[in-house]
Amino acid sequence: MIAMTDDKGSRIGVFVCGCGGQIGLSLDVGKVVGTAREAEDVVFVKKVDFLCHAHSRDEISEAIRTERLDRIVVAACSPNLYLKDFQDSIEKAGLNKLMIEMANIREQIAWVHFEDKEAATRKAEDMVSMAVAKVRLQLPSESGNVAFVNKDRCTGCGICESVCNINAVQLAPDKDYEGKRRATVNPKACVGCGACVSSCPTSALDQTYFSNKQMLAQIEDVLSRKDESGERPNVLVFNCNWCSYSSADRAGLMRFAIDPAFRTIRVMCSARIDPEWIIKALSLGADGILVLAGKPGRCHYETGNMRTRKRMTLLNMVFKELGFDEKRFQMGYVDSEQPELYAKVVNDYIKVVRELGPNPIEPTTIVDPVRVELPQGF
């Protein structure tokens, strides 16, 4: 197994797929490649016509060995199509299967933003940069995508145990902590929804593939490149992998036109979305934030979207108290087979944000309402 570096000094390889010219019809692939070369810790970038082909995946394995790559970004189609195959390819070269991130530049960019090639290219550059920011902080785990506990932070409150539907989290007296109750996650039972992680009040829980640091890194990365021209708002859309993200893929397959003025952050379940991510995004100047969960009663993890609705309703009340227009943060419901609805909800929300105008909070200025920040050392 290849040794992993820490989050400083990573050797990241980026592979950009042309999809036989399909992606290049709607965005400038060459520019995406060039921008990727400038990203921090990226030491190898290559454009390949068909990354899904077996011989192309073998090229990834070979590059890992020859270039001593320890993390990989694949900019291509949806992770719901080929992520498992790409994970097999990096494992073949000696990397842990989690050391890869995919940027969906086909279904969710090239095939829905075909009306504005320049905007589609900017979005593809951003999504690749966000993938680099996420994978830079990725650490190997033999357990796959699961939650884990920092028992030094755990207070034994039991919230995590109460929100886990599959009994993967249990509290019990721990002899290493003077018999006080501490949470334990069974990695063989955990399904990686992340509901327990986002519900933990002390940040004692985290996740191996969707860690708090990784998710915040994506938010910070994309909002650090705010469009000063004012041509588009800065909108973040959080998509549930099984529901709204799948509909976003279908919208691409059906070539629905969607306004490119948003960037997508994928989670396995909307219940994983931490209110602190939303607070951080608004404090960094995001103009609008849209959380898209599956419809109640249709959650892949049974009740994840119901927990999301309760949490986000309370969060919206907090934002109103802080002086934010409640329209800057909204939640919607889109199932996996509703591409028309996905396109409509996103387009309608971006229109709302355009009417609201820029976020009154600028990260470098003191304005009213007071800037909201996460605690130091988070």
Tell me, what's the pLDDT at 134? Answer: 98
Tell me, what's the pLDDT at 365? Answer: 46
Write the CATH number for 166. 3.30.70.20
- The 3 state secondary structure assigned to 320-352 is HHHCCCHHHEEEEECCCCCHHHHHHHHHHHHHH
Residues 116 and 173 in one domain: no
Per-residue pLDDT of the chain (378 residues; tens, 9 = 90+): 444 444 457 999 999 999 999 999 999 999 999 999 999 999 999 999 999 999 999 999 999 999 999 999 999 999 999 999 999 999 999 999 999 999 999 999 999 999 999 999 999 999 999 999 999 999 999 999 999 999 999 999 999 999 999 999 999 999 999 999 999 999 999 999 999 999 999 999 999 999 999 999 999 999 998 665 556 789 999 999 999 999 999 999 999 999 999 999 999 999 999 999 998 999 898 999 999 999 888 898 988 888 888 888 888 888 877 777 889 999 999 999 999 999 999 999 999 999 999 988 765 544 444 444 444 443
Residues 196 and 222 in one domain: no
Residues 67 and 109 in one domain: yes
- Evaluated on CA atoms 318, 322, 327, 328, the torsion sign reads negative
Show which of 159, 181, 207 is a domain's final residue.
207
The answer to whether position 16 is within a domain reads: yes
275 vs 308: CA distance, rounded Å: 10
Query: Please, is 310 exposed, middle or buried when counting C-beta atoms within 10 Å of its C-beta (0-12, 13-18, 19+)?
Result: exposed
117 vs 114: CA distance, rounded Å: 6
Residues 306 and 217 in one domain: yes
3-state secondary structure of 291: strand
Which tokens belong to 271? 């219940």
Tell me, what's the pLDDT at 230? Answer: 58
Residues 219 and 338 in one domain: yes
Query: Please, is 370 exposed, middle or buried when counting C-beta atoms within 10 Å of its C-beta (0-12, 13-18, 19+)?
Result: exposed
Q: Which residues 6+ apart lie within 8 Å of 228 measured at CB?
A: none
Residues 202 and 219 in one domain: no
Residues 172 and 37 in one domain: no
Residues 164 and 220 in one domain: no
Strand order in the sheet with 71-76: 42-48, 12-17, 71-76, 100-104
Residues 138 and 162 in one domain: no
63 vs 312: CA distance, rounded Å: 43
The answer to whether position 371 is within a domain reads: no
The answer to whether position 201 is within a domain reads: yes
The answer to whether 261 touches 350, Cβ cutoff 8 Å, is yes
Say which residue the tokens 């390949």 belong to.
48
10 Cα distance to chain centroid = 20
The answer to whether position 218 is within a domain reads: yes
289 vs 210: CA distance, rounded Å: 19
Residues 187 and 231 in one domain: no
Write the CATH number for 328. 3.40.50
12 vs 28: CA distance, rounded Å: 22
3-state secondary structure of 82: helix
For every residue of 15-67, DSSP letters joined together read: EEE-GGGTTTTTS-HHHHHHHHHTSTTEEEEEEES-TTSHHHHHHHHHHHHHT
Show which of 144, 168, 194 is a domain's final residue.
144
3-state secondary structure of 245: helix
250 Cα distance to chain centroid = 19
Residues 190 and 218 in one domain: no
The answer to whether position 227 is within a domain reads: yes
Residues 139 and 155 in one domain: no
Angle, helix 244-253 to helix 339-356, in steps of 10 degrees: 100
Show which of 112, 144, 176 is a domain's final residue.
144
For every residue of 56-75, DSSP letters joined together read: HHHHHHHHHHHTT--EEEEE
Nearest to 44 by CA among 69, 8, 62, 10: 69
Nearest to 150 by CA among 213, 97, 99: 213
27 vs 117: CA distance, rounded Å: 5
The answer to whether position 377 is within a domain reads: no
Domain, as residue range, for 183: 147-207
Structurally, the chain folds into a number of domains equal to: 3
220 vs 300: CA distance, rounded Å: 29
